[in-house]
């Protein structure tokens, strides 16, 4: 038990609040995650994936992911939310918005882009935990197996652990600027030499794809050099 508590403390950092008579790591995690005091920044992205169960349906796993992610306190700047709100003909779910960049360089223009918690087909869940092929991927027993681009991101970007890390990477890429794909449905960022972000994140050279809707909504994204066949 001590080992489990120490592991959770390491992964959640300041987000960890001891519970009474915990049974195992999963029970500790779920009990703490449901607390409204949780801050997203130190939360390990791999820890969130622990709510996924191969014994549950895809729909149930998506619901559990949404609940886990919704119980984190996402610190989006008010001025960025105000900027998003000022855009015309832009629909979004305000309580689900977790990231906004008001000066994203896309092609030869600057654009407001944002990311929401999302679901199996768009947003953060689709981006990290359920890539396109997860809807068709099944295990040896014929059950749908949830999978996403998170391992690819962490393989291409060293030190990428928390959601705050991910947002720093997105800021760096959008500040660097990307080119529209031929179909104009994706932004391709080319990193020619390793980029150091802060004291622990290293972006490897390569191409990184972010799928951005015409309205600025971030649908998904993955490193092109580690792309799933259907991702």
Question: What's the pLDDT at 120?
Answer: 87
Helix (H) / strand (E) containing 98 = strand 97-106
pLDDT at 29 over 80: no
Question: What's the pLDDT at 74?
Answer: 87
Helix (H) / strand (E) containing 167 = helix 163-176
pLDDT band at 28 (very low <50, low <70, confident <90, very high): very low
| Whole-structure pTM value | 0.78
pLDDT in tens, 162-178: 899 999 999 999 999 99
pLDDT band at 49 (very low <50, low <70, confident <90, very high): confident
In the chain, the percentage of residues whose pLDDT exceeds 70 is: 70
What's the mean pLDDT in 47-53?
A: 79
Q: How many CA atoms lie within 13 A of 87 on its CB side?
A: 19
Helix (H) / strand (E) containing 28 = helix 25-33
d(Cα 167, Cα 52) in Å, to the nearest integer? 23
pLDDT at 64 over 80: yes
pLDDT in tens, 190-205: 999 999 998 899 999 9
In the chain, the percentage of residues whose pLDDT exceeds 90 is: 43
pLDDT in tens, 106-157: 988 999 999 999 998 899 999 998 876 665 566 666 555 566 788 889 999 9
């Amino acid at each position: 038990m001590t080992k489990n508590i120490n592991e959770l403390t390491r992964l959640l950092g300041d987000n960890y609040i001891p519970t009474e008579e915990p049974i195992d790591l999963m029970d500790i995690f779920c009990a703490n995650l449901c607390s409204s005091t949780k801050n997203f920044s130190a939360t390990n992205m791999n820890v969130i994936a622990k709510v996924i169960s191969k014994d549950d349906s895809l729909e149930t796993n998506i619901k559990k992911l949404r609940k886990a992610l919704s119980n984190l306190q996402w610190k989006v700047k008010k001025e960025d939310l105000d900027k998003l709100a000022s855009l015309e003909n832009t629909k979004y779910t305000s309580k689900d918005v977790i990231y906004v960049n008001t000066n994203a360089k896309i092609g030869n223009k600057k654009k407001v882009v944002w990311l929401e918690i999302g679901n199996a087909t768009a947003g953060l869940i689709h981006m990290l935990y359920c890539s396109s092929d997860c809807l068709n991927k099944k295990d040896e027993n014929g059950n749908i197996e949830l999978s996403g681009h998170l391992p690819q991101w962490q393989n291409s970007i060293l030190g990428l652990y928390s959601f705050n890390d991910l947002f720093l990477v997105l800021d760096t890429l959008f500040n660097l600027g990307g080119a529209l794909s031929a179909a104009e449905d994706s932004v391709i960022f080319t990193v020619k030499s390793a980029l150091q972000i802060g004291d622990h994140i290293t972006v490897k050279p390569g191409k990184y794809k972010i799928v951005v809707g015409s309205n600025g909504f971030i649908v998904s994204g993955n490193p092109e050099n580690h792309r799933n066949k259907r991702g």
